[in-house]
């Protein structure tokens, strides 16, 4: 049996296979942040197609913390019903579903937003200079993450993912390229991880310990003075006891940088983090071929594999992969004639 199609149980979440759809912004909500029919169709289609775990795109915990004014929202209770409908439909088709909670920090592009960051450093020459966060700002954002987790629980998600990658607010604290604070939130690895630690702790106060908590990280900054995968792994070691179960391993985007991309270019970072932290990891990066996904799992380079662009191109990729790897999995009964 291909290991890609073996089940895995993490806390109370049992996945039918190791295939993950990572969070990918759809920019399809209105300014109110509500889910639309697009989200319902988009996510349920991947569940029908056989994906094991679907992680819903970055949901803004605050209107001023969105990446754009078309982002999905989870900053108020009115968002729960729409998200719940998506959750129910996805589970109906055998997949599990998580939601990514995010604050964009200095990469917020919402007009007239109060843009905040750990340090008053712009992302690039075309970006506004953010306001340096005070301790009150930090405490407020932590509360926003906690409140969003309450809503995720009410919407019946199987897992939560905290977005600490791609140059958004938590990642800005983690990286020395964007965090030049002189207080307890800056300087050493432990200090730069403090904000993430406090967010995880607050979320775990309302998110049951039996349910998985995922953290997505950028394991490489691609700039000499930035973080390496070992740095990120060591920061995660200082945080994991607050209740982290899975690390979704990505890279880059905290500062503009040239990245040499190729199929599987981020998998080595997953190996490092898995080895140093002992946590479950999700690896990915331009993975297209089923044989490559199988190799990653077989060689224990990760526990799960995510496919982003490929699942956008082909929501039924798991069905194709099973055929290529010689695994006879159940198809949706409506599609059996084409099996």
What is the pLDDT averaged over residues 65-89?
98
Give the pLDDT of residue 213.
Answer: 99
Give the pLDDT of residue 205.
Answer: 98
Residue 144 main-chain phi, psi, to 5 deg = -65, -40
Give the pLDDT of residue 37.
Answer: 98
Residue 297 belongs to a domain with what CATH number?
Answer: 3.20.20.70
Residue 3 has pLDDT above 90, yes or no: yes
Averaged pLDDT score across all residues of the chain? 98
Residue 176 has pLDDT above 90, yes or no: yes
- Give the Cα-Cα-Cα angle 108, 140, 99 (nearest 5 degrees): 60
Residue 191 has pLDDT above 90, yes or no: yes
Give the pLDDT of residue 173.
Answer: 99
Pair of tokens at residue 45? 């289609």
Tell me the pLDDT tens digit for each residue of 295-311.
999 999 999 999 999 99
- Name the H helices within 206-313: 229-237, 267-277, 290-298, 309-313
What is the pLDDT averaged over residues 77-103?
98
Which range marks the domain in which residue 238 is found? 3-338
Residue 279 has pLDDT above 90, yes or no: yes
Overall number of domains in the chain: 1
What is the value of pTM for the model shown? 0.98
Tell me the pLDDT tens digit for each residue of 117-135.
999 999 999 999 999 999 9
Query: What are 59's strand-pairing partners?
Result: 72, 101
> Could you give the CA distance from residue 295 to residue 213 in angstroms, rounded to a whole number?
26
Please, are residues 19 and 4 in contact by the beta-carbon 8 Å criterion? yes
Percentage of the residues of the chain whose pLDDT score is greater than 70 = 100
Q: Rounded to an integer, what is the distance from CA 41 to the centroid of its chain?
A: 20
Return the axis-axis angle of helices 37-48 and 80-92, rounded to nearest 10°: 20
- Residue 127 contacts by C-beta under 8 Å, 6 or more apart in sequence? 106, 107
Give the pLDDT of residue 199.
Answer: 99
What is the pLDDT averaged over residues 34-41?
98
- Give the Cα-Cα-Cα angle 7, 12, 17 (nearest 5 degrees): 20
Residue 1 has pLDDT above 90, yes or no: no
- Alpha-carbon dihedral of residues 89, 90, 96, 97, nearest 10 degrees? -90
Q: Residue length, the chain?
A: 339
Tell me the pLDDT tens digit for each residue of 206-261.
999 999 999 999 999 999 999 999 999 999 999 999 999 999 999 999 999 999 99
């Amino acid at each position: 049996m291909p290991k890609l199609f073996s089940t895995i149980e993490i806390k109370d979440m049992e996945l039918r296979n190791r295939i993950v759809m990572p969070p990918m912004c759809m920019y399809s909500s209105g300014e109110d942040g509500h889910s639309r029919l697009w989200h319902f169709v988009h996510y349920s289609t991947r569940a029908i197609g056989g994906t094991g775990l679907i992680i819903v795109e970055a949901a803004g915990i605050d209107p001023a913390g969105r990446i754009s004014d078309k982002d999905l929202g989870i900053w108020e209770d009115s968002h729960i019903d729409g998200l719940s409908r998506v959750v129910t439909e996805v589970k109906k088709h055998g997949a599990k579903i998580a939601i990514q909670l995010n604050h964009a920090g200095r990469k917020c592009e919402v007009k007239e937003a109060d843009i905040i960051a750990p340090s008053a450093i712009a992302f690039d020459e075309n970006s506004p200079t953010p306001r340096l966060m005070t301790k009150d700002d930090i405490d407020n954002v932590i509360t926003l993450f906690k409140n969003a987790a309450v809503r995720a629980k009410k919407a019946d998600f199987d897992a939560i993912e905290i977005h600490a990658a791609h140059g958004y607010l938590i990642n800005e604290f983690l990286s020395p390229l964007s965090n030049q604070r002189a207080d307890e939130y800056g300087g050493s690895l432990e200090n730069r991880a403090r904000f993430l630690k406090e967010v995880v702790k607050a979320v775990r106060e309302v998110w049951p310990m039996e349910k998985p908590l995922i953290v997505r990280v950028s394991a490489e900054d691609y700039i000499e003075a930035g973080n390496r995968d070992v740095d990120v792994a060591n920061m995660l070691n200082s945080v994991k006891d607050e209740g982290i179960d899975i690390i979704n391993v990505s890279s880059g985007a905290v500062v503009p940088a040239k990245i040499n991309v190729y199929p599987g270019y981020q998998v080595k970072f997953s190996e490092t983090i898995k080895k140093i932290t002992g946590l479950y990891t999700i690896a990915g990066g331009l993975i297209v071929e089923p044989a490559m996904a199988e190799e990653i799992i077989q060689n224990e380079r990760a526990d799960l594999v995510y496919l982003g662009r490929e699942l956008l191109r082909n929501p039924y990729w798991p069905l194709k992969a099973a055929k290529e790897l010689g695994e006879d999995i159940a198809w949706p009964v409506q599609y059996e004639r084409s099996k």
